[in-house]
Structure 1
């Protein structure tokens, strides 16, 4: 009896345990389903705030993996915590992590591409949200939200916040406030570490009269200043570079950005100088890199007489002279009996006629001779009028010397090319083909960039200088106060016609996209062009450039001097010498004929 009751009790107890386990299993499945529903609602809400078309899940199996059967969007699984390929998708992505330490991405290119991507982390453990936000903040990944489920499967949402204490906020799924916000639209006085190269006119330092603080101005400095004001940030220029606290040079700024000591470099870098595009922003300016050539000088007066006589025209005049000489000889007797080489080459009537001088006109001339003389007089009128016009206009305003069109012309000119050592090294490293066309003895290399810029700013027209088009614009404005321009920008002599100028940025700069958007808006509204047009006036206002006319006024003589007609006098002396020689030769030949014995007539 006792054993039967015991068996009955055990059977009832087993039945109760089976029913209880079944009930608990149903409750657990129901709780997981409810949790999945809440997570799906959260993902749909995130998709409504900002659309995404790719999911990346980091970590081992968790509730995010169970949602894959709903197939919202294409999904990439990274169970090991890191991908084995460069992230090259152009799609917008949402990252899901199965735990606070699930994401251990080691691929550099993937880190760069996914740095600003939104992250949703499922917390298994009892971890403080403040710790997780701090961990991701150190890695400069700021778009982070966390979800944590309670015992009754209620979903709690935490979202990280920058520039405030505490560094997270709790959100409810039914709230109307966004979960992810743009933290860097208002940095609340956060620090932007920067440094300027103080190269005018792009960055000019001055002391504000009201506040007594150092400020910067220029078409690069204004861009950084306006961005700091837009995002409510503070610019920090006081970066220590060396033990003696010297000013930061251009290379120091690039090195500081490369080593993450600077956020933004207040300078511009050309695409020739830096090959790592991760350190550069979207192109700020498109310019060219050409030569600043002295304006060709006016020809001296003694060379004007040579340039007004074109060789081809001179040949035509000689041919016309010989034809008219032959026609004059034929027209006088209507025969070729008097045609000799001497009469054709040195015909007195034809020569004096083409020079516009009088000559004896033969009596009883026929119509053919009159027609030839008429042609001779008309040709002399045209030739003398043409050359008198040329001579008068060129003596009034002499033409300039031939302009330099090619790099070999630069090597053959009297001007040397002045270039800094830094620019020469860059062109040599790029194996520039135009540089190879210049003779090394025709290049003046200046070691220090500052010394090169001082020489170029002095408008010393003994040299040709390298310059970018954006810097040339300020030189062009400066030359407007000169009596005459001294230099011109030669588009025929360019080392690079399409040169991008970019702003140095730190690799993992979290607000890079905001800065590049700001930069493009400044270009769109024409502010950059306006700043460039005001560069020279800002330089004058700050006392960095004097209002001085570097051009030399042209020296105009009141009258033509002897050296101005030296070339003509030399030709006249040579012609007189040849004439004397011919006259002496004729006298000697005539005397020889008279002295020779007469022949005997038998």
Structure 2
């Protein structure tokens, strides 16, 4: 096994990115990348063997496809494959093209399809079947093993399989005034105002000063001070009352500064709507999980709730290649299922975005610490050699290095473009009348409520002032 003398390895390449990346060089040669591709390239180089890429050599790279589009050779590009120019009413075709049945379209209109290197992808079940029916010895794709793990190599890695969730949008501008203070803060403020009102009125009563019944509930001076407004003090007030006035001023400073600080922050960077932290939250939000049908069947085995109460939040794709391509489009209208290896690539891509498009909630994983292996014939002569190779590259750190480098390989192959998919950054949004809709609604309601409280049973409010100084006390009472 040390020298295979240039013989071809019975390996089939067909796994998804970024574990396996297939592209074309400038001279048209097939280039195998990704950490899975590097493992078998290293194996072939170490044992003087060749890799079989005949099922990929006839395909076009993404860069070649884009060139054909620019020079007018191709009429339409669907990422997975392209259509040569034909007399077809393209406006009648549904969008996105990526979800179309291209083979049926080609047969109907008698047109020629050009397939890209993305089209070589096969589902995990297909890759396993190629090994089990003795078509090849090894499938170059990381797959979740069966239990018991007969016919599998040593685990390459233990990964998590979790949900890829779009970032929640910001709340409407007119809701900012409601979320500045939480309900608990508002209740605590009201309690403090009432307590200070009671203390102030009791202190005035003990000091022989005039009081009124409403003041024991909400004192006018306490309310004004809490809102940061000026208010009058009792003349020749004892120390106890002055101390209460000081507490009112401190309360007003705390409330007004806190409110203004939060308001300015939220106007500049509005908070998002309630975060989705559970599958029940996701079901209520109406966001669909774009899922491959076979993977969904694995989910049912782990939790029967996916087949019943959570079934409505899934949207299924039967074709594995189309599923992978559409997921990589990063359409924020859907959620997706991704493993830890794919999530690392998405994190790297989002670093060039103005703001991230997706996140991965820790509490919404389907499988944790799950092994991934290569399907291999259990009687293959390469079993021990491959297992030793896996241990060798893991102990040397080569696998981690290749995983990090796969992001650059995706850029070189044209699969990822260094562009901001999150949209243009908005530095300033002018306030509009609609942003104050809750203020306009609350203003007349508050005014009517205040008039109703002060009016009593149809009585009139009569106020009289007395005192020789400019600042005098005002006493109000209701007279029918």
Q: Which of the residues 184, 190, 197 maps onto 2:7?
A: 190
Does the 8 A contact of 1:280 with 1:505 survive in 2? yes
Give how far 1:258 is off: 0.6
Q: Which of the residues 246, 251, 257 maps onto 1:374?
A: 246
Q: Following the alignment from structure 1 to structure 2, what is the Cα–Cα distance between the partners of residues 415 and 499?
A: 26
What per-residue deviation string (whole Å, max 9, x for no partner) do you get for residues 394-434 of structure 1?
A: 22322333433222222222422221112101222x23267
Q: Which of the residues 135, 142, 147 maps onto 1:261?
A: 135
What does residue 447 of structure 2 align with? 576
Specify whether residues 370 and 256 from structure 1 end up closer, same or farther in structure 2 by C-alpha distance, changes over 3 A only.
closer
What per-residue deviation string (whole Å, max 9, x for no partner) do you get for residues 221-245 of structure 1?
A: 11112212212223334479xxxxx
Does the 8 A contact of 1:330 with 1:336 survive in 2? no
Indicate yes or no: 2:332 matched with 1:441.
Answer: no
Q: Report 1:73-472 matches (<5 A).
A: 184-197=1-14, 199-209=16-26, 212-238=28-54, 249-250=122-123, 251-271=125-145, 274-275=146-147, 277-334=149-206, 341-428=213-300, 430-432=301-303, 435=306, 439-472=310-343
Specify whether residues 215 and 383 from structure 1 end up closer, same or farther in structure 2 by C-alpha distance, changes over 3 A only.
closer
Specify whether residues 499 and 533 from structure 1 end up closer, same or farther in structure 2 by C-alpha distance, changes over 3 A only.
same
SS in 2 for 1:559: coil
Q: Following the alignment from structure 1 to structure 2, what is the Cα–Cα distance between the partners of residues 247 and 235?
A: 16
Q: Which of the residues 512, 516, 527 maps onto 2:383?
A: 512
Q: Which of the residues 398, 404, 408 maps onto 1:533?
A: 404
Specify whether residues 225 and 350 from structure 1 end up closer, same or farther in structure 2 by C-alpha distance, changes over 3 A only.
same
Specify whether residues 507 and 322 from structure 1 end up closer, same or farther in structure 2 by C-alpha distance, changes over 3 A only.
same
Specify whether residues 320 and 420 from structure 1 end up closer, same or farther in structure 2 by C-alpha distance, changes over 3 A only.
same
Specify whether residues 537 and 434 from structure 1 end up closer, same or farther in structure 2 by C-alpha distance, changes over 3 A only.
farther
Does the 8 A contact of 1:407 with 1:437 survive in 2? no
**How many residue pairs are counted as aligned between the two chains?**
402
| Aligned Cα root-mean-square deviation (Å) | 2.9
Give how far 1:198 is off: 5.1
Specify whether residues 355 and 207 from structure 1 end up closer, same or farther in structure 2 by C-alpha distance, changes over 3 A only.
closer
Does the 8 A contact of 2:140 with 2:374 survive in 1? yes
SS in 2 for 1:269: coil
Does the 8 A contact of 1:195 with 1:248 survive in 2? no
Name which of structure 1's ranges 430-439 and 559-568 shifts more when overlaid on structure 2.
430-439
Give how far 1:518 is off: 1.1
Give how far 1:191 is off: 3.3
SS in 2 for 1:509: coil
Give how far 1:581 is off: 3.6
Give how far 1:501 is off: 0.9
What does residue 366 of structure 2 align with? 495
Give how far 1:550 is off: 0.9
Higher RCO (CA-CA < 8 Å; seq separation 6+): 2
Specify whether residues 327 and 239 from structure 1 end up closer, same or farther in structure 2 by C-alpha distance, changes over 3 A only.
closer
Q: Following the alignment from structure 2 to structure 1, what is the Cα–Cα distance between the partners of residues 30 and 270?
A: 51
Give how far 1:563 is off: 2.1
Q: Following the alignment from structure 2 to structure 1, what is the Cα–Cα distance between the partners of residues 226 and 55?
A: 82
Does the 8 A contact of 1:193 with 1:237 survive in 2? no
Q: Following the alignment from structure 1 to structure 2, what is the Cα–Cα distance between the partners of residues 351 and 329?
A: 13
Does the 8 A contact of 1:198 with 1:205 survive in 2? no
SS in 1 for 2:386: helix
Specify whether residues 234 and 420 from structure 1 end up closer, same or farther in structure 2 by C-alpha distance, changes over 3 A only.
same
TM-score, structure 1 length as denominator?
A: 0.61
What per-residue deviation string (whole Å, max 9, x for no partner) do you get for residues 16-67 of structure 1?
A: xxxxxxxxxxxxxxxxxxxxxxxxxxxxxxxxxxxxxxxxxxxxxxxxxxxx
Q: Following the alignment from structure 1 to structure 2, what is the Cα–Cα distance between the partners of residues 282 and 426?
A: 22
Does the 8 A contact of 2:15 with 2:142 survive in 1? no
What per-residue deviation string (whole Å, max 9, x for no partner) do you get for residues 76-113 of structure 1?
A: xxxxxxxxxxxxxxxxxxxxxxxxxxxxxxxxxxxxxx
Q: Following the alignment from structure 1 to structure 2, what is the Cα–Cα distance between the partners of residues 359 and 214?
A: 82
Does the 8 A contact of 1:410 with 1:438 survive in 2? no
TM-score, structure 2 length as denominator?
A: 0.76
Give how far 1:388 is off: 2.0
Q: Following the alignment from structure 1 to structure 2, what is the Cα–Cα distance between the partners of residues 343 and 208?
A: 84
Does the 8 A contact of 1:291 with 1:489 survive in 2? yes
Does the 8 A contact of 1:281 with 1:516 survive in 2? yes
Note the residue ranges of structure 2 that are not aligned, 5 or more in a row.
57-118, 462-477
Give how far 1:539 is off: 1.6
Name which of structure 1's ranges 494-503 and 399-408 shifts more when overlaid on structure 2.
399-408
Q: Following the alignment from structure 2 to structure 1, what is the Cα–Cα distance between the partners of residues 379 and 174?
A: 67
Give how far 1:468 is off: 0.2
Give how far 1:286 is off: 1.4
Structure showing greater radius of gyration is 1
SS in 2 for 1:292: strand
SS in 2 for 1:278: coil
What does residue 599 of structure 1 align with? none
What does residue 84 of structure 2 align with? none
Q: Following the alignment from structure 2 to structure 1, what is the Cα–Cα distance between the partners of residues 121 and 330?
A: 27
